[in-house]
Amino acid sequence: MTDTHDTPDTWTVAGQTFTSRLIVGTGKYKDFAQNAAAVEASGAEIVTVAVRRVNVSDPKAPMLTDFIDPKKIVYLPNTAGCFTTDDAVRTLRLAREAGGWDLVKLEVLGEAKTLYPDMRETLKATEILAKDGFKPMVYCTDDPIAAKQLEEAGAVAVMPLGAPIGSGLGIQNRVTIRLIVENAKVPVLVDAGVGTASDAGVAMELGCDGVLMNTAIAEAKNPVMMARAMRLAVESGRLSYRAGRMGRRMYADPSSPLAGLI
Amino acid sequence: MSISITLNGEPRTIDDGLTIAALAEQIGLNPAKIAVERNLEIVPRSILAEVLLTDGDTLEIVHFVGGG
């Protein structure tokens, strides 16, 4: 094998091919300028966005689209804050009208305290969206069976949580994330729970196709610097996965030759 | 003549005979950056300039904002 780090290493979701494996959120930033600078530093080609009511009393307020150009960066509309299938589907139908594209992020939450996904509603919503022509990338529990069911229902990517949204706790169950990766025919992205660069590296070393994060960058002391750290961690984790790590041993194995010792 | 509608959850009195696009522009919104739901049904952007608002309509006008 003559594989080098120069080999193009892209990933494809619903027919769209991307080079960056980092998807970043656009919430919680100090302002749009900082947000745009962080997106630039992250190298992300996709950003998640929320769908909300226009503030009709202040229509001239700055808008996200003035700072992050949807013609250059793919907007992935989410259903954050939706707790039922109906709310999520309704939100994404509006998003499709606002944006004009079918690639969306579905999340149906079970309760406010953990923001854990409600998988019964999530599965139902995935089926409805797929039948309606959407390409849903689906936020889910780190459950290999649920991930498979979502794929069968029409999810174009499955996005298991590493830990609760906004918790920054890192990947809590590497075994289940790896099981999802091994069984999936669609891209797998860790969505939620990343706190620092090494967490993103772990996700990529487990063989995930990408990582989605928001708070880890937005709530860093220096979000733009952290965005770059995440970019490097995702690239480095991916290279490490492709390179194939060494085996684990219980005991030491000297790196210097034993022969010729004085 | 004026009519009463509900716009993003708030009651509002508007001129009779306005299309959705005309209302959006009157408020100061760019119709190209919004999506509209009228009485729980999506109004395709291509016909925002054709759909006349009627008394009692409930409108939701949304756009993209920052989110994770």
Confidence class of residue A149 from pLDDT cuts 50, 70 and 90? very high
Mean pLDDT confidence for A166-187: 97
Residue A204: its H or E element: helix A197-205
Residue A129, min C-alpha distance to chain B (Å): 15
Residue of B nearest to A35 (CA): B66
pLDDT at residue A3 greater than cutoff 60 = no
Mean pLDDT confidence for A151-171: 97
Nearest CA-CA partner of A157 in A131, A176, A175, A130: A130
From chain B, the residues in CB contact with A166 under 8 A are 68
Residue of B nearest to A65 (CA): B64
CA A44/CA A68 separation, integer angstroms? 11
Are the Cβ atoms of B35 and A27 closer than 8 angstroms?
no
More confident residue, A187 or B34: A187
Confidence class of residue A6 from pLDDT cuts 50, 70 and 90? low
What share of chain B has pLDDT > 70, as a percent? 100
Name the phi and psi angles at A61, rounded to 5. Answer: -60, 150
For residue A229, the model assigns a pLDDT of 98
Alpha-carbon torsion angle A35, B30, B38, A54, nearest 10: 40
CA B21/CA B45 separation, integer angstroms? 9
Exposure of A71 by Cβ count < 10 A (0-12 exposed, 13-18 middle, 19+ buried)? Answer: exposed
Mean pLDDT confidence for B23-27: 91
**Among A28, A93, A98, whose Cβ lies nearest the Cβ of B63?**
A98
| Longest alpha-carbon distance in chain A | 83
User: Each residue of A180-214: b (16+ CB within 10 Å) or e?
Assistant: bbeebebbbbbbbbbbebbbbbbbbbbbbbbbbbb
More confident residue, A60 or A237: A237
For residue A60, the model assigns a pLDDT of 80
Q: Three-state SS for A135?
A: strand
Strand (E) positions, chain A?
Answer: 11-13, 16-18, 22-24, 46-53, 74-77, 103-106, 135-140, 157-160, 189-191, 210-213
ipTM score assigned to the predicted complex = 0.92
Confidence class of residue A1 from pLDDT cuts 50, 70 and 90? very low
Confidence class of residue A5 from pLDDT cuts 50, 70 and 90? low
For residue B59, the model assigns a pLDDT of 95
Which residues partner with A50 through β-bridges?
B65
The catalytic residues of A are: 105
What are A51-99's pLDDT values in tens digits? 999 988 887 888 888 899 999 999 999 999 999 999 999 999 999 998 8
Residue A98, min C-alpha distance to chain B (Å): 5
Chain B positions with Cβ closer than 8 Å to A: 7-10, 27-29, 33-37, 40, 42-45, 60-68
Residue of B nearest to A166 (CA): B68
Are the Cβ atoms of A165 and B68 closer than 8 angstroms?
yes
For residue A194, the model assigns a pLDDT of 97
B62: tokens are 């949304």
Are the Cβ atoms of A63 and B68 closer than 8 angstroms?
no
pLDDT at residue A4 greater than cutoff 80 = no
Residue A128, min C-alpha distance to chain B (Å): 16
For residue A72, the model assigns a pLDDT of 93
pTM: 0.91
